[in-house]
Structure 1
């Protein structure tokens, strides 16, 4: 069965701050990522289901237009789909089901291409590279995170 993307909450208005209680508490996920929070841009919180079981979560910023300082990538005029946060349950990462890859494909299918993400750490860098995404470093050096793009 294919992975299902389900929108938990979203606001696509760019003009006001959005405050959400995103997900129910679940100790299988990082609690600091998925508690109540806010965003000052369009935002969508979604979860990924496999046969009705929640296996992952994501915070998506549709139509993101940031990252103009990355000189090796040009953001399309309509913006890009930014994956701000994505998490596959730790007990299912490396299960052979490729849930992370499936989740990213579902995000691109739902929100549009190109899809982008910023580096969080070395583990996330390895994941984005495993998808064949292109890494873009900022010309001002290491104080900026690496931008990864699907195209």
Structure 2
């Protein structure tokens, strides 16, 4: 078994309606949307990924392909890119670089596409640590900051 992090697309979203989570049940992930048999609302552009190391799942990720991006951010290329909608690193694997590695694998999977996130303020430090461009909306306080990697 490889000791490198491996990306696998778990499921492209079918037809943009509520579906059962495509992930296996796991106590290592806290968010309800990851649990098997959990009904989640998705759009046709959502992509679900899992990342494993030595066969053990360490990261789960939901990405939006061609997301809606308010023009006030001033980054029209983001609408042709990928938005990291939600990511969680498994309990026991946090603060070991798996989130950063997963995002880099995602970027390699989609070469030439801008990748961005609009995280809650509590997660700004992680995105700033990646060295991504920090972009404020023209109306500043009314919108979350956008972190972008071209």
Give the TM-score of the pair, scaled to structure 1. 0.83
In structure 2, the residue matched to 1:38 is 41
8 Å contact kept, 1:70–1:139 = yes
CA RMSD of aligned residues (A): 1.9
> What residue in structure 2 maps to residue 75 of structure 1?
77
CA contact (8 A) 2:52 2:59 kept: yes
Counterparts of 1:110 and 1:53 in 2: how far apart (Å)?
A: 20
In 2, distance between residues paired with 1:8 and 1:55?
14
Q: How many residues align?
A: 143
SS in 2 for 1:108: helix
Q: Deviation of residue 76 (structure 1)?
A: 5.4
Q: Is the 8 A contact 2:115 2:148 kept in 1?
A: yes
Contact 2:50–2:60 (CA under 8 A) maintained in structure 1: yes
Task: State the alpha-carbon separation in 1 of the partners of residues 136 and 92 from structure 2.
Answer: 32
Structure 1 gap ranges (5+): none
Checking the alignment, whether the CA contact within 8 Å between 2:78 and 2:116 is kept in structure 1 is no
